[in-house]
Amino acid sequence: MKITDILTLYDKILIGFVIILSLVLLLIPFYFFGGSAEGEELILRVQQGDELIKIVAVADSYQEPIIFKVQGPIGVHTIEVNQGRVRVKEAPADDPLKICEKTGWIDREGPIIVCVPNSLSLWLESTNSDIDGMSW
């Protein structure tokens, strides 16, 4: 006996409706909250241990990427800012997992790039955000 033999037409319609409704509800946050607000400026904050070592304005209008290096206990990280997004372009050779490099690009508030062996943290903040701050 197959499951399709047990289901009636109305059961199949109900299952289809629930699937479509679930997909719509999953996509609503991306549609309404995915983009940046008008006039919003993002700022990259780079922290080494407990010290904030660099603040960079992140804009979509840069002609060339901004690339800078951060020295840490296990080596040098190369950080790239390009087209309103940020990434760790290259992690030190002594970093065993290179998770910060594998994290890839971040382009909005929320995600944080962290390199634990080098005590390095990178995150974006908005100039007109509703978020009060970050807790560690």
The burial of 13, by beta-carbon neighbours within 10 Å (0-12 exposed, 13-18 middle, 19 or more buried), is given as: exposed
Gap between the Cα atoms of 68 and 128, Å rounded: 26
Highest-scoring range by mean pLDDT, 47-61, 77-91, 121-135: 77-91
37-51 tens-digit pLDDT = 555 688 999 999 889
Contact 112, 122 (CB under 8 A): yes
Task: Express as a percent the part of the chain with pLDDT over 90.
Answer: 38
The beta-strand segments (E) located in the chain are 42-48, 51-58, 66-72, 75-82, 85-90, 112-115, 120-126
Question: In the structure encoding, which two tokens stand for residue 61, read together?
Answer: 């209008």
Closest CA to 28 of 16, 20, 39: 20
Instruction: Give the per-residue pLDDT at 38.
Output: 55
Strand order across the beta sheet in which 66-72 lies:
66-72, 75-82, 85-90
Over residues 79-94, mean pLDDT = 90
